[in-house]
Chains A and B, each alone.
Chain A
Amino acid sequence: MDVEQIKKDFPILENRKIAYLDNGATTQKPTEVIRALEEYYEKNNANPHRGAYTLSIEATELYENTRTKIAKFINAKHREEIIFSKNATESLNLLAYSYGMNNLKQDDEIVISIMEHHSNLVPWQKVAKTTGSKLNYMYINDKFELSDEEIEKKITDKTKIVGITHVSNVLGTINNVKKIIQYAHKKGAIVIVDAAQSIPHMKIDVQDLDADFLVFSGHKMLAPLGIGVLYGKKELLNKMTPFLMGGDMIEYVYEQETTFAELPNKFEAGTQNVEGVIGLGAAIDYIQNIGYDKIQELEKEVVSYAKKELSKLNFLTLYLTPNEENHSSVISFNINGVHPHDVASILDSVGVCVRSGNHCAQPLMRFLGIDSTCRASFYFYNTKDDVDRLVSGLNKAYEMFKKYINI
């Protein structure tokens, strides 16, 4: 199975003839996922957990079977440890409100890294302000990595929550979350792993990591937009209060009092995104069909080629670790003296899609002393031809700007 064959599974890549290099923002969808949604609406659609009729029971089964599938996919011990949400952002907000607000007090510490996405940063600012706890940062070294010393300096006996991204959405740095979790547990803190940028590319085993909580979004791993997952250890989720209130998350409702449903329903108020769940199930089938080994082999080939070709452009600054084994599939760069937004517009004019801006990581940008970057983020369906188009677009941008550049 080569990349040209795989590319045929993604209709949009055939239809638009683009070099799609914004997979860190969202991935394209294979035919299998698109068909799964069609089939659901053509054959199975009803509101799960509600009706006493066959169709609703079928919809419930599809929904709940996918929960089981996801539990196996990330090796969760119990299926009810999988909570469906809108996306990683909602999962993190749930944790901030249902765990953070209730478990932190004055002088406790929350520790996150400087490379967190705003979604794993702003909610903790809110928790810190409300509870009187402190929000501390682990900073990166000149290799764009977190050193062991930094981790051990910042996670202290006062630390109650550590929030860490598995892979940086800007730098592509892979953090050693297993080590961070081990150290944090020694200090008595729980750890929340943001796997939004890692799970599309690598096998996640929550028991092996011993993660207390782990979140991800479906749409960055071939599934539809609007479906996300929160994994949490059962004993922790059981102790937490619900986040959103409403239908299906209750047991008894009286005029003034309510008792809540058991896991996982306790955290799934209102009619859920069944279509998204079905699509996520189909995406997981697709990923497992290809296999993470193959995905990594294909990505390694294209990302190594991209690094090699981009390094040849002497007008470019790259923001990535030199340690290949600690780098995922994201490459941030700037044409020296040219704003990334202008670069992205010129790349767009030759059919190359990259992200430009601060990537929802303003504190990281400030730490790096820059305003923004261009970001090419790869997935296994990207080809060397996509890289060549990127490089040729960058040369073109440089040609357009070079006589005006004033560095």
Chain B
Amino acid sequence: MEDLNSVYNDLIMEHSMNSYNKRNLENADFSEIGHNPNCGDEITLEVKLNGDKIEDMAFSGHGCAISQASTSIMIDTLRGKTIEEAKEIIKTFIEMIKRETTDEEELKKLEDAIAFRNVANMPARVKCALLAWHTMEDMLNKKANNGKGNIDCCH
């Protein structure tokens, strides 16, 4: 019950139900669909780059409160970051949810996304929290390399 209340908090509820990040981007450079076939959740992430910086992001789709809020908060966290910083943050988020890191200093870089830390105690919901982050990770690893922009520069 404690985990449940800490996960379904105001921040997460607001993002899940009324997100300002749920819209379409004009002139998006990349988009990627993330799908969880077990529960039917599906999101589309759109990214606009400026050099190696994530200038803007948005999402569309449907899913549970945790997957929707996680997507929206991820967008807030990654907006304005470089590709390399974004990759690091994604890695840390995934490690937090999988209980592979509890280093407070490390977790600070997640900003608001730290609100999801107790999802680690709700195994049935781990996939919901990770959907957007895995989708973004895939986009950065695969498509971005072949697309326009110079984002392969930072390796």
Q: Which residues of A contact B (CB under 8 A)?
A: 337-342, 344-346, 348-349, 356-358, 362, 365, 371-372, 400-401, 404-406
Contacts of A362 in B (CB 8 A): 40
Q: Which residues of B contact A (CB under 8 A)?
A: 1, 4, 8, 13-14, 16-18, 38-41, 62-66, 68, 122, 124-125, 128
- Tell me whether B17 and A345 are in contact (CB under 8 A): no
Contact of A358 among B17, B40, B65 (CB under 8 A): B40
B21 to chain A, nearest CB (A): 15
Q: Are A372 and B39 in contact (CB under 8 A)?
A: yes
A346: chain B residues at CB < 8 Å are 4, 8
| A371 B62 Cβ-Cβ under 8 A | yes
Question: In the bound complex, do residue B124 and residue A345 qualify as a contact, i.e. CB atoms below 8 Å apart?
Answer: yes
* Residue contact B8 to A341, C-beta cutoff 8 Å: no
Task: Point out the residues of chain B lying under 8 angstroms from A358, CB to CB.
Answer: 39-40
Most chain B CB atoms below 10 A, which of A339, A349, A356, A362: A339
A-B contact sample (14 more), CB < 8 A, given A371-B40, A372-B40:
A337-B17, A339-B64, A339-B68, A340-B64, A341-B128, A342-B64, A345-B125, A346-B4, A356-B39, A358-B40, A365-B40, A401-B13, A404-B18, A405-B17
Cα of A345 to Cα of B121 in the assembled complex, Å: 12
- Residue of B4, B17, B40, B68 with most partner-chain A CB within 10 A: B40
Residues of B within 8 A of A340 (CB): 64
CA distance A338 to B63 in the complex (A): 10
Q: Give chain A nearest CB distance to B114 CB in angstroms.
A: 20
Q: Please name all residues of chain B whose beta carbon is closer than 8 Å to the beta carbon of A339 when the two chains form the complex.
A: 62-65, 68
Q: Are A342 and B8 in contact (CB under 8 A)?
A: yes
User: Which of chain B's residues has its CB closest to A407's CB?
Assistant: B17
Name 5 interchain pairs, CB-CB below 8 A, sorted by A: A337-B17, A341-B41, A341-B63, A342-B65, A349-B4
B124–A348 contact, CB under 8 A? Answer: yes
Residues in chain A near residue B14, CB distance under 8 A: 404
Chain A residues contacting B68 (CB-CB under 8 Å) are 339
Contact residue among B1, B38, B125 (Cβ-Cβ distance under 8 Å from A357): B38
> Please, how many angstroms separate the alpha-carbon atoms of A401 and B41 in the complex?
19
Chain A min CB distance to B67 (Å): 8
Which residue of A337, A342, A405 contacts B66 across the interface (Cβ within 8 Å)?
Answer: A342
Q: Are B122 and A345 in contact (CB under 8 A)?
A: yes
The 6 A-B pairs with the shortest beta carbon distances in the complex, nearest first, are A339-B64, A341-B64, A404-B17, A404-B13, A357-B39, A358-B40
CB <8 Å contact, B1 and A349: yes
Q: B39, A406: Cβ atoms under 8 Å?
A: no
Pair B13/A341 contact, Cβ less than 8 Å: no
Q: In the complex, what residues of B have CB within 8 A of residue A345's CB?
A: 4, 122, 124-125
B19 to chain A, nearest CB (A): 10
Chain A residue with the shortest CB-CB distance to B12:
A404
Q: Report how far A338 CA is from B38 CA in the complex, Å.
A: 18
On whether the beta carbons of A341 and B17 are closer than 8 Å, the reply is no
> Considering the chains assembled together, what is the distance between the CA atoms of A400 and B41 in angstroms?
21
A356 contact set on B, CB distance < 8 A: 39
Residues B1 and A341 in contact, CB atoms below 8 Å apart: no
**Complex Cα distance A116/B8, Å?**
35
Nearest CB to that of B1 among chain A residues? A349
